Amino acid sequence: RTARFTLDPAFAVGDVNPRLFGSFVEHLGRCVYTGIHEPGHPAADEAGLRTDVLDLVRELGVTAIRYPGGNFVSGYKWEDGTGPAEERPRRLDLAWQSIETNRFGLAEYIDFVAKIGGEPMMAVNLGTRGIAEALELQEYANHPGGTELSDRRIAHGGKEPYGIKLWCLGNEMDGPWQTGHKTAAEYGRLAAETARAMRQIDPEAELVACGSSSQAMPTFAEWEATVLAETYDLVDHISLHAYYEEKDGDRDSFLASAVDMESFIENVVATCDHIGARLKSKKKIQLSFDEWNVWYQSQLAEQEPGNWQEAPRLLEDNYTVTDAVVFGSLLIALLRHADRVTVACLAQLVNVIAPIMTEPGGPAWKQTTFFPFAQASKYGRGKVLQLNVGGPTHETERYGEVPLLHATAVADESTGAITVFAVNRSQTEPLPLEADLRGLAVTRIAEHSVLADSDPEARNTLADPERVTPHAGEGTTLDGGALRATLEPMSWNVIRLA
Ligand code: AHR
């Protein structure tokens, strides 16, 4: 009943792109308004950004920030979010049946990204708009000056160009729920021509074509093949989105959600490479997993159409320790495919299916999922090592037989330090672990941090914001190149070796 693996620096998956630790800010519910932006809050800075939230976002360690949607972008006019805030229009947001005040827009987003030390990742509207509006946005944002649009940005206070490199060509265009939904052929043509034109402004632009909204979509794989046949030479990435939740009380399957995420990644890689082979191309399309999380979507109350409110409380899932263990396993799945997944965005950042929660006028606090993300972003930089686990398995309803241990390891080549990220999927049994690290120059355990709780439903709340936090693992040893640990039932583990 012992799980085993060997680590050897000669066998690596690839380097981790810092963009793997991206996140997502959508105009949805309270992600922007009273989330990151709340003028009048005691902690707000001169731009209305909540400094208590900025501090938590920095501690979380997010990198690229995808914006402004999501489904929202498919009805968005980017110009509405520019110029003097008090003159901006109020609009209906069809996607979330809300009122959009546009008090937060492009300049505020760029300011937010700069203050967290991140990178912008901007989506253009290919639902209700098209090539011209995407080009106008790109020119307004990035052209130095001397044209009507770039001078307009300067007049709005943006003297320096925003330098946006990473662009999403629409959002979830395969989904019938998307405003301006398209067939793969329609979208593929539009994405190709938008990409071609955007490259006329900036040949170095990095472009993400929309892939499938989940592996379960009826059009999955055919969609990617059709879109890539049109766009292969014009885009750099294809997107993947996936959300997981516990269904019908089947916790073992929920704990194995990363099995689906890994197969989704591998199937998209296969589809990309198939099109590459057909086109006799040397180029490899990268994967942008730009929406992923645990989300209790099936419990989502049907929105009442016409219930138009500003910043309503929407999708404010409160995560348990079980959710955080699954979430950690999803991070492990991304790291295990770091050779092809070069962008990933946790959806979302604040209040909306988020690791950070806020109260209007009140405090900001950390959900259980905050901890695995912060640890993975801090210690998961470097080279991912290959890790083939042997050991105990169990049967799950949805995914058949799965290993109890789900793990990866990242080597920091500048220090020689190794970090093992590991999840024990058993709800009831501790999992003994033995790893052979003889090929590595590590000599001591720097830390074994564990997220687990005797109550699988334990969660942080506004009233009790520190109910769940990581604790130190016990009895972990490194002796003569042999790592030994016991992983608590249903736990997320970070074992740092120096
Ligand atoms: O992240 C919430 C929503 O999930 C996004 O707006 C959409 O792209 C996806 O369906």
ipTM score here?
0.99
pLDDT digits (tens, 9 = 90+) for 339-363: 999 999 999 999 999 999 999 999 9
| 466 included as an active-site residue | no
Candidates 186, 210, 330; CA nearest to 258 is 330
Distance CA 299, CA 123 (A): 28
CA distances from 460 to 246, 366, 469 (A): 19, 7, 9
The 10s digit of each residue's pLDDT in 311-340 is 999 999 999 999 999 999 999 999 999 999
DSSP 347: E
Secondary element (H or E) of residue 391? none
pLDDT on residue 299: 79
Cβ of 291 closer than 6 Å to ligand 1, yes or no, is yes
Could you give the dihedral angle defined by the CA atoms of residues 147, 152, 157 and 158, in that order, rounded to the nearest 10 degrees?
-50
444 burial type by CB count under 10 A (0-12 exposed, 13-18 middle, 19+ buried): exposed
Confidence at 56, pLDDT banded by 50, 70, 90 = very high
Closest-CA residue, ligand 1 atom 5, reads 70
Spot the catalytic one: 100, 224, 291, 488: 291
Strands across the sheet with 12-15, in order?
12-15, 383-385, 405-411, 418-424, 491-497, 445-451, 471-472
pTM exceeds 0.95 for this model:
yes
Cβ neighbours of residue 13 closer than 8 Å, sequence gap 6 or more: 336, 337, 338, 339, 383, 384, 385, 386
In short, whether 368's Cβ falls inside 6 Å of ligand 1 is no
Q: Is 343 in the pocket of ligand 1 (CB under 6 A)?
A: no
Q: Atom of ligand 1 at shortest distance to CA of 243?
A: 4
Question: What are residue 138's phi and psi, to 5 degrees?
Answer: -60, -40
Tens-digit pLDDT profile for residues 265-294:
999 999 999 999 999 999 999 999 999 999
Q: Which two tokens stand for residue 271?
A: 């589809």
Confidence category of residue 300, pLDDT binned at 50, 70, 90: confident
| Three-class secondary structure of residue 476 per DSSP | coil
Q: Which position has the token pair 């955007």?
A: 198
> Are 79 and 87 in contact, with CB atoms under 8 Å apart?
no
Q: What is the pLDDT of residues 94-147, one digit of tens each?
A: 999 999 999 999 999 999 999 999 999 999 999 999 999 999 999 999 999 999
pLDDT at 302 over 80: no
71: CA distance to ligand 1 center in Å? 6
Q: Which helix (H) or strand (E) holds 120?
A: strand 119-124
Active-site annotation holds for 291: yes
pLDDT at 457 over 70: yes
Instruction: Please give the distance, rounded to the nearest whole angstrom, from the Cα atom of residue 103 to the centre of ligand 1.
Output: 21
What is the distance, to the nearest Å, from the Cα of residue 158 to the centroid of all Cα atoms in its chain?
28
Specify the 3-state DSSP secondary structure of 3: strand
Q: pLDDT tier at 303 (50, 70, 90 boundaries)? A: low
Q: What percent of the chain has pLDDT over 70?
A: 99
CA distances from 461 to 30, 316, 453 (A): 17, 12, 15
**Mean pLDDT in the chain?**
97
Q: Which two tokens stand for residue 8?
A: 């050897």
Whole-number Å distance, alpha carbon 376 to ligand 1 midpoint, is 23
Min mean pLDDT across 116-120, 138-142, 297-301, 364-368 is at 297-301
How many other CB atoms sit within 10 Å of the CB of residue 471? 13
What structural domains does the chain harbor?
A: 3-9+386-497 (2.60.40.1180), 17-379 (3.20.20.80)
**390, 384, 396, 401: which is closest to 333 by C-alpha?**
384
Q: Whose CA is nearest to atom 7 of ligand 1?
A: 70
* Angstrom distance (rounded) from CA 227 to CA 238: 9
pLDDT grade for 464, boundaries at 50, 70 and 90: very high
Give the integer Cα–Cα distance in Å for 478 and 473: 14
In whole angstroms, what separates CA 383 from the centre of its chain? 20
353 CA closest ligand 1 atom index: 1
Q: Token pair for residue 175?
A: 């989904």
The pLDDT assigned to 309 comes to: 94
- Dig out the tokens for 64 from the structure: 């690229």
Report the distance separating Cα 407 and Cα 425, nearest Å.
11
pLDDT at 388: 85
Write the Ramachandran bin of 479: left for phi over 0, alpha for psi from -120 to 50, otherwise beta.
Answer: beta
Tell me the average pLDDT across 38-62.
98
Question: From ligand 1's centre to the CA of 242, what distance in Å?
Answer: 10
Picking from 350, 256, 282, the residue whose alpha carbon sits closest to that of residue 62 is 350
